[in-house]
């Protein structure tokens, strides 16, 4: 006899794509009024599984049951009819339409054959109030920030009267305050009897919100455990091995200064920023949202202009606002937005890995493709990129593997100063540790690493020194021994005595801690 509280059951689901077994016998169930966390490394099969529920993919084998009855979901309309709504990491909203129009897209209320705009906006207002977001139903979606877009997606799901809500990495780009608001909404949905499938890479969120956890590894469900299971056990289930140390920083001997920044100033953005990064060390940059961290490193790389100051590599000054000069001097930048700025998504793994070295591999106008392919193959193997082959489009890789490709192109260019801006955002714990090990390899080989991260434990765990920015200035520098969460935050919220008001110092949200 079926469980009357069971909303959804997935049994023995198998799905293959050319050359890849994405899912191989996955089991999962969801009850009314629970948050069931789906956990696994990038590439484990989570996205494929939730696309089965939204109708984007159909299983090759296995069954999906809703309310005890076997169903087939062939598209979004089938999912909607069954009360299943999915909120993806990349929002499914139309930028030029209003909030109300997005919420009721394709289902607008009508009167006398015409869209009843007044009723649509009134109904949208009720839904927006339910999710606790202060936004006009008449606002254009393109005018909204990430957090409000997230709430509009939830309101849209509520308009469908969804009984099953799938949330794919909903907190990946939210601040701590925004995460708490989202959690309050999810708890309210749980109290109303909605079943929530919650995907996250932030392990600390599981005990705070979840009821049960199903772990997927290599396309298989490998365990179901309570949400209060220790993080060490969750990690072991995810990666198939224990990770004794979350931040495996090895500190080689510090060498000579490779990167020197002197009095770097961009009026109204950052002022009088100066620091050094030596061979063999990792220097972390911490600070509140809007402190100017990303703006500084983009200026160092030549991507953005600055008004005064100097950037030197091994003592030689670089031309201002000149990316080619920075690259020629051995600086590489892994940007915060890897999809928008670090990759050509519709190009292959091979092509992306060869982007930086394309010029040096060209002779008489012809690219030595054989050498480029061989180099790309060696780098992909070294980094453990999970892929069907070098010809696979980067768009189809998991987040962690995309990040490896971004880093790999700079390794092929033999960068001696690597700037990492949010290097592990949106990737799972197993891939994070692989990135950390790679950082260790780079510094052991004599490279210098400058790392921005809003994840305070990451900054503290991987940095030999920590620079803290506040209001566009360096508020202080801490050694690894001095750097604690309290010490960093005290500097991050300080007002440097000589600082002037800057346009970037509006954010007051703290970096996310564990």
With residue 129 as reference, give the H or E element that holds it.
helix 117-130
pLDDT digits (tens, 9 = 90+) for 34-68: 999 999 876 788 888 999 999 999 999 999 999 99
pLDDT digits (tens, 9 = 90+) for 456-469: 888 999 999 999 99
Residue-number span of the structural domain to which 92 is assigned: 6-245
Please name every residue paired with 365 in a beta bridge, in sequence order, or none if there are none. none
CA 416 vs. chain centroid, Å, equals 26
Q: Please determine, for residue 210, whether its predicted confidence score (pLDDT) is greater than 70.
A: yes
Q: Please determine, for residue 135, whether its predicted confidence score (pLDDT) is greater than 80.
A: yes
Whether residues 195 and 327 fall in one domain: no
What does the pLDDT read at residue 163? 93
- In 198-230, which positions are buried (b, 16+ CB within 10 angstroms) versus exposed (e)? bbbbbbebbbebbbbbbbbbbbbbebebebebe
pLDDT digits (tens, 9 = 90+) for 269-325: 999 999 999 999 999 999 887 889 999 999 999 999 999 999 999 999 999 999 999
pLDDT digits (tens, 9 = 90+) for 232-280: 888 888 877 655 567 888 888 899 999 999 999 999 999 999 999 999 9
What does the pLDDT read at residue 123? 93
What does the pLDDT read at residue 236? 82
With residue 197 as reference, give the H or E element that holds it.
strand 195-199
Whether residues 260 and 183 fall in one domain: no
Q: Please determine, for residue 77, whether its predicted confidence score (pLDDT) is greater than 70.
A: yes
* 58 within domain boundaries: yes
What does the pLDDT read at residue 269? 94
What does the pLDDT read at residue 214? 96
Q: Taking residues 432-450, what's their average pLDDT?
A: 91
Domain final residue, candidates 245, 263, 296: 245
Whether residues 287 and 325 fall in one domain: yes
* 368 within domain boundaries: yes
Whether residues 82 and 134 fall in one domain: yes
Q: What residue spans of 240-280 are helical by DSSP H? A: none
Residue in the block written with tokens 């920015």: 469
* 501 within domain boundaries: no
- Interatomic CA distance for residues 514 and 508, integer angstroms: 18
Q: Which two tokens stand for residue 46?
A: 């989570």
What does the pLDDT read at residue 40? 85
Q: Please determine, for residue 328, whether its predicted confidence score (pLDDT) is greater than 80.
A: yes
- The dihedral through the CA atoms of 162, 163, 169, 174 has a sign that is positive
The CATH number of residue 448's host domain is 3.40.50.300
pTM, two decimals, is 0.63
- Interatomic CA distance for residues 412 and 493, integer angstroms: 39
Higher-confidence residue of 148 and 33: namely: 33
- The dihedral through the CA atoms of 374, 376, 381, 383 has a sign that is positive
Q: Taking residues 341-364, what's their average pLDDT?
A: 80
Whether residues 422 and 283 fall in one domain: yes
* 503 within domain boundaries: no
Is residue 493 classed as helix, strand or coil in its secondary structure? coil
What does the pLDDT read at residue 203? 85
Long-range pairs for 55-63: beta carbons < 8 A, 24 or more residues apart: 55/79, 57/15, 59/13, 59/14, 59/15, 59/23, 60/14, 60/15, 60/16, 61/12, 61/13, 61/14, 62/10, 62/11, 62/12, 62/13, 62/14, 62/25, 62/26, 63/9, 63/10, 63/11, 63/12, 63/13
What does the pLDDT read at residue 293? 94
Domain final residue, candidates 218, 245, 272: 245
Counting Cα atoms < 13 Å in the Cβ hemisphere of 229 gives 21
Q: Which two tokens stand for residue 502?
A: 């800057």
What does the pLDDT read at residue 465? 96
* 349 within domain boundaries: yes
Q: Please determine, for residue 72, whether its predicted confidence score (pLDDT) is greater than 70.
A: yes
Whether residues 228 and 286 fall in one domain: no
Burial bucket for residue 166 (CB in 10 Å: 0-12, 13-18, 19+): buried
Share of the chain above pLDDT 70, in %: 92
Q: What is the DSSP string of 209-230?
A: H-SEEEEEETTEEEEEEETTS-
pLDDT digits (tens, 9 = 90+) for 366-401: 666 788 888 899 989 888 888 889 999 999 888 888
- 108, 115 in Cβ contact below 8 A? yes
* 511 within domain boundaries: no
- Interatomic CA distance for residues 418 and 421, integer angstroms: 10
Q: Taking residues 485-514, what's their average pLDDT?
A: 60
Q: Taking residues 78-88, what's their average pLDDT?
A: 91
Share of the chain above pLDDT 90, in %: 53
Confidence of residue 363 (pLDDT cuts 50, 70, 90): low
pLDDT digits (tens, 9 = 90+) for 493-505: 877 654 333 333 3
Whether residues 188 and 42 fall in one domain: yes
Q: Please determine, for residue 17, whether its predicted confidence score (pLDDT) is greater than 50.
A: yes
Q: Please determine, for residue 169, whether its predicted confidence score (pLDDT) is greater than 80.
A: yes
Q: Please determine, for residue 479, whether its predicted confidence score (pLDDT) is greater than 90.
A: yes
Give every CB contact of residue 445 below 8 A, 6+ residues apart in sequence: none
Count the domains in the chain: 2
With residue 474 as reference, give the H or E element that holds it.
strand 473-479
- Interatomic CA distance for residues 155 and 279, integer angstroms: 51
Domain final residue, candidates 245, 266, 289: 245
Q: Please determine, for residue 347, whether its predicted confidence score (pLDDT) is greater than 80.
A: yes
Whether residues 284 and 218 fall in one domain: no
* 514 within domain boundaries: no
Q: What are the distances in angstroms from CA 135 to CA 143, 150, 155, 392? A: 10, 12, 12, 41
Residue in the block written with tokens 């360096």: 474
DSSP-derived letter for residue 306 is -
Give every CB contact of residue 241 below 8 A, 6+ residues apart in sequence: none
Residue in the block written with tokens 């193997």: 381
Whether residues 157 and 114 fall in one domain: yes
Residue in the block written with tokens 């954010």: 507
Is residue 112 classed as helix, strand or coil in its secondary structure? coil
- Interatomic CA distance for residues 261 and 275, integer angstroms: 5
Q: Please determine, for residue 192, whether its predicted confidence score (pLDDT) is greater than 60.
A: yes
Whether residues 148 and 200 fall in one domain: yes
Whether residues 236 and 300 fall in one domain: no
* 508 within domain boundaries: no
DSSP-derived letter for residue 387 is -
Higher-confidence residue of 250 and 328: namely: 328
- In 461-495, which positions are buried (b, 16+ CB within 10 angstroms) versus exposed (e)? bbbbbbbbbbbbbbbbebebeebebeebbebbeee
What does the pLDDT read at residue 132? 79
Whether residues 309 and 172 fall in one domain: no
């Amino acid at each position: 006899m079926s469980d009357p509280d069971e909303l959804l059951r997935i049994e023995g689901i198998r799905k293959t794509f050319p050359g890849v077994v994405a899912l191989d016998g996955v089991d999962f169930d969801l009850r009314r009024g629970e948050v069931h966390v789906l956990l696994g490394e990038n590439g484990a099969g989570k996205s494929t599984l939730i696309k089965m529920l939204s109708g984007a993919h159909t299983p090759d084998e296995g069954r999906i049951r809703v309310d005890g009855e076997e169903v087939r979901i062939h598209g979004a309309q089938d999912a909607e009819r069954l009360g299943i709504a999915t909120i993806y990491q990349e929002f499914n909203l139309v930028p030029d339409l209003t909030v109300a129009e997005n919420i009721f897209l394709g289902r607008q209320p009508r009167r006398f054959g015409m869209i009843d705009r007044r009723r649509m906006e009134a109904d949208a207002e009720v839904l927006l109030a339910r999710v606790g977001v202060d936004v006009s139903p008449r606002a254009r979606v393109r005018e909204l920030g990430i957090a409000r877009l997230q709430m509009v997606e939830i309101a849209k799901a509520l308009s469908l009267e969804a009984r099953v809500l799938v949330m794919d990495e909903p907190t990946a780009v939210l601040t701590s305050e925004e995460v708490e608001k989202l959690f309050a909404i999810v708890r309210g949905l749980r109290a109303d009897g909605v079943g929530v499938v919650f995907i996250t890479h932030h392990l600390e969120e599981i005990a705070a919100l979840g009821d049960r956890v199903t772990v997927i590894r290599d396309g298989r469900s490998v365990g179901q455990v309570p949400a209060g299971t220790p993080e060490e056990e969750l990690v072991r289930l995810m990666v198939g091995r224990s990770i004794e140390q979350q931040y495996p920083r090895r500190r080689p001997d510090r060498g000579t200064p490779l990167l020197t920044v002197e009095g770097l100033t961009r009026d109204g953005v950052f002022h009088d920023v100066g620091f050094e990064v030596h061979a063999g060390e990792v220097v972390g940059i911490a600070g509140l949202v809007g402190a100017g961290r990303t703006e500084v490193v983009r200026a160092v790389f030549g991507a953005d202009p600055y008004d005064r100051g100097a950037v030197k590599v091994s003592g030689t000054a670089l031309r201002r606002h000149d990316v080619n000069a920075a690259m020629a001097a051995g600086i590489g930048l892994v940007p915060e937005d890897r999809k928008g700025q670090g990759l050509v998504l519709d190009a292959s793994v091979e092509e992306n890995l060869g982007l930086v070295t394309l010029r040096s591999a060209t002779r008489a106008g012809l690219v030595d493709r054989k050498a480029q392919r061989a180099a790309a193959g060696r780098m992909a193997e070294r980094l453990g990129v999970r892929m069907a082959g070098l010809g696979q489009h980067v768009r189809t890789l998991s987040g962690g593997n995309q990040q490896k490709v971004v880093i790999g192109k700079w390794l092929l260019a033999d960068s001696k100063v690597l700037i990492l801006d949010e290097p592990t955002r949106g990737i799972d714990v197993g891939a994070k540790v692989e990135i950390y090990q790679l950082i260790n390899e780079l510094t052991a080989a004599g490279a210098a690493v400058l790392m921005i991260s809003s994840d305070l434990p990451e900054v503290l765990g991987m940095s030999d020194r920590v620079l803290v920015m506040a209001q566009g200035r360096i508020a202080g520098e801490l050694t690894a021994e001095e750097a604690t969460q309290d010490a960093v935050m005290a500097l991050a919220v300080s007002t440097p005595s000589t600082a002037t008001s800057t346009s970037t110092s509006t954010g007051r949200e703290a970096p996310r801690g564990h």
